[in-house]
Structures are given as structure tokens and as C-alpha cells.
Amino acid sequence: MSTSQQRSASAVAIDDESNPRWYAAPHGNNQRFIGTDGRPAVHLIRYDGVLRFCEDSTGLLVGPTDRRLLPAGLLVSNLRGGRYNEADCRAGDFSPGATVRLVPEPDNPHDDQAVAVFDLTGQYRAGYVNKMKARAYLKRLAAGEELVAISLRGSRPGGDAGVVSILAAPARVLAHVRASRPASSPAPVYTRAAHG
């Protein structure tokens, strides 16, 4: 069995239980999403109103909590504390693809390593990067890495507040995953299932 066949055979649902074969299994090879050229082997696509990663070699979707995204340079976090920031989530632009600002809060009384997420204007806070990802983000900043961030899931101003998810990565990595998938990549599995 080829590597891509093994990957397809190991597909399971992450957060779309109605379509289990559309997602890469959330465990296994820690280097799975790193291509032979060292760049991420996934690209962002629009799926069900949000941005999702799609694996280049299989067309499988990759869940936002898959820990193998981090070794590929992709820090993805579903934000915490959104219910406390509901008004801000409705007022700011956290729509998929919108640039967001990650702001360390060393004086935060609950966690001196907290990282808040604001819209591009810096006026509206959607919540906080989860604890593990915040520490990874701060470690990368301390190492001199410059990271930029976008929203993967959220709404435009005036929209329904809901879960906001973000992606932080170096600008070149972000540009790579936002570019079109390679022409040699199979179509996303969910589109094949819809046409099959």
C-alpha cells in the first residue's frame, strides 16, 4: 500500500461526524504535513463557510486541533473566552481570511503568558489563544520569529458571534498555505464524494 493510500485509509472525522472519510486521522506521523521541500503539505480551502486545511497528497481535510500542524509551522487555535467577548466578536471583523492581531498580555492576572486576539483595528477582542498554543506562540516570538495571523472561522461585523479560530505563521508560510493547491493534488475528498 502506498503512503497516500495509507493516509486515505486512516481518515476519520474530527468535527464533522456525518462525513468521517473526509478528514485525516488526528494521530500518527508528526511530520505528515511537512513536504519534502520543508514547506507545509497542506493548503487552505473554503469549506462550509470557514477556512480549512486540505492535505495536498490525499485531498483529506485536516481538523483545526490536529497537533501535527504545529511542526509544519502552523499555529492554529480555537479561541477561549469568546462568551465573555461576544459583543466584540460581533463588532470586529473575524471573518475567514481577515487579518487579526495577537497581543501578548504579560500583566494578565489570570495567566502571564496569555495571548489575546483582536481584529485588525485592535479595538475588538475575540478571546484568547488556548494555553498550549499561546506558549508555543510566545516561544517563537522570543526566538525572533515574526508571525502574522488570520481568522479561519468567525464572522464579519454585525454577524453572529460564534467560535473564532485563528492561524498564526511566518508571512512566507501563510502565503504558501493561502495559495492555490498544487495542480497535481487530488480534489478535496468531500467534492469527490459529492460527485461520486
Please give the pLDDT value at position 194. Answer: 57
Please give the pLDDT value at position 11. Answer: 40
The CATH number linked to 96 is 3.30.70.2330
- Does residue 147 fall inside a structural domain? yes
Which of 11-15, 31-35, 121-125, 138-142 has the lowest average pLDDT? Answer: 11-15
Containing structural domain, residue 19 = 3-189
Listed in sequence order, the residues at least 6 apart from 148 whose beta carbon sits closer than 8 Å to its beta carbon are: 99, 168, 169, 170, 171, 174
Please give the pLDDT value at position 93. Answer: 95
- Does residue 163 fall inside a structural domain? yes
Distances (CA, A) of 117 to 38, 52, 89, 173: 28, 19, 10, 20
- Does residue 196 fall inside a structural domain? no
Residue-wise pLDDT for 110-163, tens only, equals 999 999 999 999 999 999 999 999 999 999 999 999 999 999 999 998 888 778
**H or E element that contains 171:** helix 171-178
Mean pLDDT score of the chain: 87
Is 54's pLDDT higher than 80?
Answer: yes
- Number of structural domains, the chain? 1
